[in-house]
Amino acid sequence: MNITEERVSDLNALLKVKVQKEDYLPKYEKILKNYSKSMNVPGFRKGKVPVGMVKKKYGRGILAEEIQKILDESIHTYIKDHNLKVLGQPLPVKDGEAGDWDAPEDFDFTYELGLAPEFKIDLSDKYDLDFFKVKVDDKMIAEELDRLTRRYGKVEDTEKSTEKDLLIGDFIELREDGLEKEEGIKNRSTIGLEYLEDKKTKKKLLGLKKGDRVELDPEKLAKDHEDLGRMLGITHDEVHHLGHRLFAFEISEVKSLTPAEMNEEFLSKVLPADSEKSEKTLKDYIKKELSGHFDKDSEVLFKRDANRYFSKKLKLELPNEFLKKWIALSNEGKLKPEEIEASYEEYSNSIKWQLIKNKLITEEAIKVEFDDAMEHVKALLKTNYKNYGMPEPAEEELKETAFRIMQNREEVEKIFDSLYEERIMELLKSKAKFNEKELSFDKFKKMAEK
């Protein structure tokens, strides 16, 4: 076996691999003999099939498989031993193969490599990062207070729908002529008029009573595909193949909601048990909860902005043409070139960010231990119990549930990735120049949409 490396550029290389006869012949001949012992061929006793017959029928396939194993192992070892930072996987060069499969001797193969760029990150004040927070103002607190009083309010039947009422009824799929489609989608759902953003659809649903039917587009009611799926009672895949279909909504109930009064009963439902039961305490509690909610959004935005900032600041270049070829091959030709081009920028940005994270993990000696992951899972479980209004289980039960989750390899990888990213964000905040800026919700939303 002989491997030589030819650098085409800083980001591209060729590996030329010579597989010699002695590399594959002993194993190849052994496999042929094993085949001859196990084959059933009319006219020959089992185990007495001539090796030449096996070779004639299966030899080329067996040889190709054995040489591929040798190539995979030797290339992997070469990359590891020479500390090559390879992106994607080595790609065989079409014209880079030489050898006679019918009279095998030595074979030559050529593989194309895409290499990661070399770069340095010296965290200091020269890296200037912004962290945007939402300013929770009196208007937001008042809106959340109104939502809570309505949530814990009294629901009653009403004659006709108004802007803040609930409609309960059935979505019914229609044919083009407006009649109900046989075996079409039919699902009972609830529409909260208060939260509809499409003004034309909302206007259609006002002034309606029990038994009324109105044609509408469910997509104008839903927040996203998941919401649309729940509304129509269909799966995520079915939503994506829904297309433009006609639907009617037939009303079975119209409900009005009377907000709860600001009294001790209402305050006891909303505030933690050990809190003072007063309107001021509730407003302070709402402010704290909203701030905690928006802090998560701030972290997501900070990650995105850090990704963009460092990718631009470090001027990272990738072997783009190689990666496009690798994407095409790894998707077995299912993606068209224009589809790869359309999504490539997002893909390349994710690779750059992964390279940056890996560099920081190595150079700053960031570590995540198994116990860290266990504590993270336990904290998530506690939050879930709290969100569903359930009592927190005993420590031993929490540990058992967390341990079961940690048996799932995919879940473990997600948890470790999440914890590494958290620690990287903490590192950036502590070592780079960190500017915390408070914005109104509308300005924060615009910043997130950029």
Model confidence pLDDT, tens digit, residues 26-62: 998 898 888 887 777 776 777 777 888 878 888 888 9
Distance CA 193, CA 111 (A): 61
Give me the mean pLDDT over the 390-405 stretch: 89
Give me the mean pLDDT over the 338-342 stretch: 92
Contact 166, 329 (CB under 8 A): no
Model confidence pLDDT, tens digit, residues 416-439: 999 999 999 999 998 888 899 999
Res 335: pLDDT: 87
Distance CA 380, CA 389 (A): 14
Alpha carbons within 13 A on the beta-carbon side of 347: 17
Give me the mean pLDDT over the 266-276 stretch: 90
Can you state the angle between helices 21-38 and 51-81, rounded to 10 degrees? 140
Closest CA to 144 of 284, 255, 277, 276: 284
Res 2: pLDDT: 93
In the chain, the percentage of residues whose pLDDT exceeds 90 is 64
Residue recorded with tokens 């850090």: 306
Distance CA 129, CA 434 (A): 5
In the chain, the percentage of residues whose pLDDT exceeds 70 is 100
Please report the domains of the chain, with CATH numbers, ordered by start residue.
2-115 (3.30.70.1050), 154-258 (3.10.50.30), 277-449 (1.10.3120)
pLDDT interval class at 25 (50, 70, 90): very high
Whether 4 has a pLDDT exceeding 70, the answer reads: yes
Closest CA to 175 of 114, 119, 115, 245: 245
Res 151: pLDDT: 84
Whether 13 has a pLDDT exceeding 90, the answer reads: yes
Res 224: pLDDT: 81
Contact 283, 145 (CB under 8 A): yes
pLDDT interval class at 125 (50, 70, 90): low
Give me the mean pLDDT over the 72-99 stretch: 93
What does pTM read for this prediction?
0.67
